[in-house]
Amino acid sequence: MNWLNLKELRASAEPQIVERKGKQEYHIPVATYPHPNPPERICCLAGVLKRHDKVKVRYRDRRIEPMPTVLIVERQRYKCHHCGAIVLEAMDADLDHKWYITHRFKRELQLASVKRNFQDAANLNGVDDSYIIRLFDEFATEKLEHYHTNLPEVLGVDENNLLGGMRFVAADLETGQILDLLPVRTEAAVMAFFAELHWKFYVKVFVQDMWRGYRNVAEQMFPKALNIVDKFHVVRMANDGMADARKWYQTKLENEDRRSLKNKHRMFLARWDGMHSTSQDTLAEILEDHPFLNDAYVWKERFYMIYDSATRAEAEKEYDRLVATMPPHLKRFYRPLTTSMKNWQPQIFNHFEMPERWTNNMTENLNGRLNQINSMARGMTFDRFRKKAILRFGKIIPNNELAVYSGDPNDDPRQIGFGWDVSTLERALKNGRF
């Protein structure tokens, strides 16, 4: 009876528990069935092969006992009488000769390397961490060789500091899914990324920050899409202007007045309508005592209110009125904002062209989560992090299974990714399961 459940191999003797390097292993002597397989390769054109001797080789298999299981495989060797080469009997159905492991155990380790953290996967299966990681690298590279990202109707692009570098982030703003990550955020890299992707005509809205590289990408890759500068990058500049005005003003105060404003800086960045009534009372007293800060805060709040406009025309009119009535003593602090508004006016006011008022808020929220991810994924390379996130949490569909596919179903190896949820990844990291 072939109790090992292997295709070509059988147990040739009783298993033994063996002590090796201070650890116990479950050794199973294994051989082929009575008629050996032909050699695994041809040595030369003459190929005059005759049996030479037998050699025993160690191959790891999945655990049978609570210790590593090792198959001691007896392989027939052949010698060529023409060229003198030594070749081995073929045993490819059950054994992986690169990793010295059975195919079934290799599949289990690959699955464990994706579903568990590398250390847990190694401990569970009695192998080294480095072995699991190298297996994962090979498996992930093979699985994602033909991986492409699906392009949604509303595409958001941004960058975040992840695992030691600024990484490009592409997101589906309708579903809130991260579509893909790139190791760098250069115009050439982003352009090449989108150039490889099909169905670019699906993208109707392209949301970005105020980086010219993204604008060039939008113009070349998505000329028919509505290019929108993200609202949060704009209003953040209003907050920066308020902060600069406050800092400058505080340097002009006497020590006692300066101390009275200590630790109050966050109040000036908060929206009035979003503050608790107690905080409103405190801030109102400060603004009454400091007219300069009152002017800066009121102008900042009025700028925020532009985004409450119902139409583009209304928003543009309100902004023009706001700039025309800006107090002269505030212009120096809000000049970066007004300059950006001038340089990016079409893209900024494109925000009002869509009823949904799309923003990159989801990718902005990623910033906070990435701080946690960076600490919890420390030691993992960016490439492994990306591949594991896609394989573990991503929705991947073969291109020929999509409804829009019209080609030969046997002639397209591409895998199409529809993104993954960053909050799910964060939970897995917190629970030690990534």
Predicted pLDDT of residue 278: 94
- Neighbouring CB atoms inside 10 A of 218's CB total 22
Look up the pTM and report it.
0.87
| Gap between the Cα atoms of 135 and 384, Å rounded | 12
Model pLDDT for residues 11-20, shown as the tens digit of each residue: 999 999 999 9
pLDDT, averaged across the chain: 90
Is pLDDT at 363 greater than 80 in this prediction? no
Model pLDDT for residues 29-65, shown as the tens digit of each residue: 998 876 656 676 667 766 677 888 889 999 999 998 8
Q: What mean pLDDT do residues 133-137 have?
A: 96
Q: What mean pLDDT do residues 264-276 have?
A: 93
Model pLDDT for residues 64-83, shown as the tens digit of each residue: 889 999 999 998 888 887 78
Predicted pLDDT of residue 46: 63
401 pLDDT band, cuts 50/70/90, is confident
- Domain-by-domain residue ranges, the chain? 9-97, 147-229+359-430, 231-353
Long-range contacts (CB closer than 8 Å, 24 or more residues apart) made by 137-144: 137/384, 139/110, 139/113, 139/114, 140/114, 140/384, 140/387, 140/388, 140/391, 141/387, 143/391, 143/415, 144/387, 144/390, 144/391, 144/415
* The two structure tokens encoding residue 19: 């002590």
* The two structure tokens encoding residue 365: 């929220």
Predicted pLDDT of residue 367: 61
Q: What mean pLDDT do residues 149-161 have?
A: 92
Parallel, antiparallel, or unpaired: how do β-strands 69-80 and 86-88 relate? antiparallel
Predicted pLDDT of residue 260: 85
Predicted pLDDT of residue 104: 97
| Gap between the Cα atoms of 122 and 115, Å rounded | 12
Predicted pLDDT of residue 410: 60
* The two structure tokens encoding residue 180: 């893909």
Is pLDDT at 1 greater than 70 in this prediction? no
Picking from 318, 309, 308, 319, the residue whose alpha carbon sits closest to that of residue 344 is 319
* The two structure tokens encoding residue 192: 């090449």
Model pLDDT for residues 187-234, shown as the tens digit of each residue: 999 999 999 998 788 999 999 999 999 999 999 999 999 999 999 999
Q: What mean pLDDT do residues 304-324 have?
A: 97
Assign 3-state DSSP to the chain and report helix, strand, coil percentages, each to 5: 45, 20, 30
Backbone angles phi, psi at 406, to 5 degrees: -130, 10
Q: Which helix (H) or strand (E) covers residue 122, if one does?
A: helix 118-125
377 pLDDT band, cuts 50/70/90, is confident
Is pLDDT at 276 greater than 70 in this prediction? yes
Determine the CATH number of domain 147-229+359-430: 3.30.420.10
Please give the share of the chain, as a percent, with pLDDT higher than 90.
66
